[in-house]
Amino acid sequence: MSLAEPAALPVAASAPPHLHILKRLSTRFKTSLPAYLLLLPSLIFLALFTYGAMGRVFIDALYQRATPKAPLRFVGLDNISAVLADPAFTGAVINNLVYAVGTAIPSIGLALLFALALARTNAVTSALRAALFLPVLIPMVAASALFLFIFLPNVGLLDYYIGRLLPVLPNWLGDSDIALYAIMVITIWKNAGYYMLFFLAGLQSVPEDVMEAAHLDGAGPWQRFRHITLPELKPTFLFVTVIAILNAVTQVDHVFVMTKGGPSNATNLVLFYIYQQAVEHYDIGKASAATLLTLAALMGLTALSFRTMANREGGA
């Protein structure tokens, strides 16, 4: 190149702006491609078995079939109206609300007590943590069979020990006044150890220097727990509460094994009601409408919890 010739500008500097954008996108795509390929199997399963299933439920809720072999007939929102007017669905919702509150509060309270008692790591607390977490590993069906043996009238373990103290014993699973509370016990027993793990992780975020400063200032254990530990555990409480309510709606194996919704629908929960409509009555439209209402309620609850957490973090 002679000295008289102007120096050539770099290609990137002389290229139009849209070429810069395309080149940047191409580079980012090549960099991210391996990650997307690794995620591809999970994305396919998520699309097919989660969002695809939700779309199918939405479509089925708008149609009705008079008999299993009859053609589908578009009925609009009639299925949803029928579900809302069904006393069995209303009863299942009320049972589920009682079940959710009755299992969430005791299991979260026990989980917090376990986490506070076992916060320090040593050989004993590690063994106790493993023992408390063990029920989580037992399948719900197997745990239900175990508790079915415990609740058996006259010959079960519960009647064997309480029978020495009381002359008349209730039929734990056969009395409509107490059957729902009896099946709550198994959920509390299984979930307390699981929620304990979240509280153990939450306790790690409590600043030790603040606790030591409060101790030096004369604050007692209860004052330190109330004014330092509890505020730091608020996000954990919110997260665990949402998980507990979701578990109360999605766990129904023990109802199948122990009561099948009885006696007199006293233990009929929403998911078991959906099963009855879909399998026993073959009313897919009504079952889909009930599923759609349940999904809407759970998504609203989840969105509200995330909004609350975001507001708290934004205000922190």
Q: Please report the pLDDT score of residue 313 as a whole number.
A: 64
Q: Over 60: is that where the pLDDT of 10 sits?
A: no
DSSP letter assigned to residue 61: T
Assess contact for 89 and 290: CB atoms under 8 A: yes
**What pLDDT shows up at residue 112?**
94
Q: What is the mean pLDDT of residues 39-45?
A: 91
Q: Among 17-26, 56-65, 68-77, 196-205, where is mean pLDDT lowest?
A: 17-26
Quick one: pLDDT at residue 170?
84
Per-position DSSP letters for 89-142, written without gaps between them: HHHHHHHHHHHHHHHHHHHHHHHHHHHHHT-S-SHHHHHHHHHHHHHHHS-HHH
- 125's CB contacts (< 8 A; 6+ apart) are 118, 119
Which amino acid, one-letter code, is at 51?
A: Y
Give the model's confidence band at 81: pLDDT under 50 very low, under 70 low, under 90 confident, else very high: very high
pLDDT of residue 3: 44
Best CA proximity match to 198, nearest among 227, 241, 231: 241
Is the overall model pTM greater than 0.85, yes or no? Answer: no
pLDDT value of residue 5: 47
Least confident piece of the model among 83-92, 160-169, 213-222, 244-253: 160-169
Q: Please tell me the predicted confidence (pLDDT) of residue 128.
A: 93
Q: Is the pLDDT of residue 183 over 90?
A: yes
Q: At what angle do helices 140-151 and 179-203 cross, to 10 degrees?
A: 130
Please give the pLDDT value at position 4: 46
260: alpha, beta or left, given left = phi > 0 and alpha = psi -120 to 50?
left
At residue 1 the predicted structure's pLDDT band, cuts being 50, 70 and 90, is very low
Half-sphere exposure for 148 (CA within 13 Å, toward CB): 14
Rounded Cα distance, 257 and 145, in Å: 7
Tell me the pLDDT tens digit for each residue of 131-179: 999 999 999 999 999 999 899 888 888 888 887 777 778 888 988 999 9
**pLDDT reported for residue 316:** 55
Backbone torsion region of residue 9, taken as left when φ is above 0, otherwise alpha when ψ lies between -120 and 50, otherwise beta? beta
**Whose CA is closest to 95, among 242, 240, 259, 286?**
259
CA distance 276 to 259: 14
**pLDDT tens digits, one per residue of 115-128:** 999 988 888 999 99
Lowest mean pLDDT among 2-16, 117-131, 300-314: 2-16
**Which H or E run includes 74?**
strand 73-74
- Residue 193 pLDDT more than 70? yes
pLDDT above 90 coverage of the chain, percent: 40
Angle at 40 between CA 36 and CA 42, to 5 degrees: 125
pLDDT of residue 9: 47
Task: Tell which residue, 264, 269, 309, 265, has the closest CA to residue 290.
Answer: 269
The residue among 43 and 3 whose pLDDT is bigger is 43
Question: In which band, very low, low, confident or very high, does the pLDDT at 271 lie, cut at 50, 70 and 90?
Answer: very high
Confidence bin at 314 (pLDDT 50/70/90): low
Residue 155's pLDDT is 81
| Eight-state DSSP code of residue 247 | H
Q: State pLDDT tens for residues 14-29.
A: 666 667 777 777 777 7
pLDDT at 156: 83
- In order of 14, 26, 219, the CA distances from 22 in angstroms are 15, 6, 62
**Is residue 193 helix, strand or coil?**
helix
Sequence letter at residue 175: D
